[in-house]
Each structure stands twice: as structure tokens, then as C-alpha cells.
Amino acid sequence: MPYPKSKPRGFTLVEIMIVVVIIGLLAAMAIPAFQRVRTKSRHSAVANDLRVFADAFETYALEHGTYPADAQIGVIPPEMAGDKSTLDNSTFAGVTPLGGRYDWDYGVFGVTAAVSVTDVTVTEAELLAFDTTFDDGSLTSGEYQGTTGRYSYILQP
């Protein structure tokens, strides 16, 4: 008497291929969305940093009648260093989310006072996208302006 044929257990090659295709499609949809969120997060971080730094310099100017002197890239002016400063030294001295470093500009580069980002490593298109959410969408007008290598949030033209 022949033994009854038992049903094989496991998945067929076709079933496995269908699952792989479905996972690939889901990944193809998720990766661009993740990149958009990551870009928006970087833009929000830079915008927040620029506003915090600008507020600290404006507060200093209101309390002392003038802005602090120009300083080197990534260095908080000595007048603002210390316990009373609202600036986070590590953030100001570190690399920005757009690449490059923050800089305090006073009486240089054609502006009276500005907080700048120097030596950015992102594309011009990303900087324009940042300007669109932060200011007016043009790197030649508004409060956020720049040319290749230096982009400034102008406090006083």
C-alpha cells in the first residue's frame, strides 16, 4: 500500500520573490520620505540656532549699547563668554547641520551685525530650500543672505 503524499512545508521560490518585491517597494517609498524629514530637521536646527544666537547678540547690544566686537569663526566674542552668556559654546563652536561653522560678524562683509554660517557643505538648492522656510526664498534679499561660502542672518544691515 502506498503512503499518502504529504504536503511539503515551507515557502516556494515564487512566494519568497513576491515578499522581496513588496519589501523593496515599501523601502522605495519610505527612503525619500525619510530624507525629506531629515532635511527639514537640519533646517529647523539651523534656524533655531540662528535665532538663539541672534537673540543673545541683540540682548547684549541692548544691555551695553553696542554689539560685541567681531570674533574668529566658531568663537564667541570674549565680552559674551562667561556665566551670564545665553550662548551655548559647544553649539557655536561646533559644526552646523548644514556643514561649516557659525561666525559672529560685526562691521565686516558689508553688514553691521550678522550671525553667519561659513564653509557650508550642502548644495545651493538646499540652501535655497532653507531660505524658503526661514526667510523669503532668495539668498540675495531678506534677512538671510549669502554668497558661496558665507550665509548670514543679518541683524543690522
**pTM, entire model:** 0.82
Label residue 45 exposed, middle or buried (CB < 10 Å: 0-12, 13-18, 19+). middle
Judged against a pLDDT cut of 80, whether residue 83 lies above it is answered with no
Please report the DSSP string for 63-75 in residue order. Answer: HHSSPPPP--TT-
Judged against a pLDDT cut of 80, whether residue 82 lies above it is answered with no
pLDDT for the residue numbered 47: 94
Cα(156)–Cα(56) distance, integer angstroms: 14
Q: Model confidence at 4, in pLDDT bands (50, 70, 90)?
A: low
Q: At 50, which amino acid appears?
A: L
Domain ranges (residues) in the chain: 13-156
pLDDT for the residue numbered 90: 86
pLDDT for the residue numbered 9: 77
pLDDT tens sequence across 24-80: 999 999 999 999 999 999 999 999 999 999 999 999 999 999 999 998 999 988 888
